[in-house]
Structure 1
Amino acid sequence: MKFFLASIAATCVLSIVSAKPTARQSTCSPNFEGAGVSIITGSVEWTVSPVVAGTLLKKTGTLLPPNSTANWHVEQTGSANPTYIVKAISNNELVVDVVDEQLTLEEIDSSKQTQIWDIDCKQCLPGASSAPGGGEFASGCSIKSVPSGLCATLEMGSEFLGLTECNPVVAQTFNFWTETSA
C-alpha cells in the first residue's frame, strides 16, 4: 500500500511539473512577397547613398508619408527556419553585408554568411500585399546577423548603422513598410 501511495504521489508531482507552462516569446517571420520595403524605426529609415559596393548604410529622417519610395527588397534564402538577404532596390546585385561590425552594401555572394539575416517580429500581416494602400506590415522586428548573432542598431551619435549585442531597445526595433500610395 505504501508503494502504491508513493507511486500516486510521484505521478501527481510529475504531472504538476510537466504541466507548468514555459515562458516563450511569440514572434513571426514576415513574408515580403517580393514587395519593395522601407526599414523604419520611429522617424528614422535605413538608407544608402551612393548605391555602390562598399557604401555604409545610413540612418536618415523618413519622409511623410513613410515609405513614399521603397529602398529594399528582402528575400528569404530558402532555409527551413526563415533567413533573409536584404537587396538594394536600385541595384539587386548589392546586398546588406557586415564589414567591421558596420552595415555596408556589397556584391551578392551566396558563400558569405555575413549577408544572411534572421528577422523576428512581434507582429506580421500575412504578407506585404496585405498592407492596404501600402504601409506597415511587420513591426517590432529585430534584424540579427546570422553568423555573429549581433543585431542591427541605430548607433547613437553616428549617422551610420552598426551591429551590437542584441537588447530589446528602440534602436534595435524596426518596422517594415511597403510603398504607400498617394
Structure 2
Amino acid sequence: MVLEIRQADPSERDEVARLLDVAFREDPVSSWVFPDPEHRAAVHGRFLGVFVDVAFAEGRVERTADGSAAALWLRIPAGEPEGEDEVPAKMRAAADPDNERCELVGRLTGAVHPTAEEHEYLLMIAVEPGRQGEGLGTELMRPVLERCDRDGVPAYLEASSERSKRLYERLGFEFTGEAVRLPDGPLMWPMWRKPNG
C-alpha cells in the first residue's frame, strides 16, 4: 500500500477532532469515561479535541491526504516533566467539568509514562470506522517508526483495547508489564518499542 501522508495544518483542527470522535466513540476507554451513549455523543469530540490542541501546540499531527486517518505525536524529553501536567484538567474542563473520569484517565496514564529516555509518544491514532482493518494505521505509523529506528529513538503508546494491543505488538511494541487499571473499567496497556538496528 502506498499512502500519501502529510503533516496536518492547525486549520484542520476540527476535522481531526471529528475523526478522533467517530473513531473512538465506541472505544472501551471512551465508553468508561462517558458511560451514557447520548452524553458521550454530545461531549466526546470536545474531550478529544484537547488531545488535538496539545499535538498542534507541542508535537505534530500527521494524516492521510484523504483525511481517513490521523496520528498525534509528541517528542517527549528524558526526565520527569516540570510541574504538574495540566492536560487532564483541561480535558475535564473542556468536555465535562462534573465528570472526574475525564481527568482521572489522564492522571493514571501519566503516572506510568516512562521518563528515563527521550521517545516518540503516539498520543492517539484514528482511522475512520469504515476504513479500519485496511492497514491505514500501520502505514501512517511506519514513517515515524522508521525514523525512530534510524535515529535510535524508542516509541511509546497506550493501547486502549486488546485489538489495538495486538496491532502494536506486530509493529514491535511490547507491553511494559504495568497495566493502567481504570476503576471498575477496562485496562489500558502501556507499550514501549525499542529502536531496531
TM-score category of the 2 structures, normalised to the smaller one: 0.3 to 0.5
TM-score, normalised relative to structure 1: 0.34
Query: Which structure has more strand as a fraction of its residues?
Result: 1
Relative to its length, the structure with more helix (as a share) is 2
Bigger-Rg structure (1/2): 1
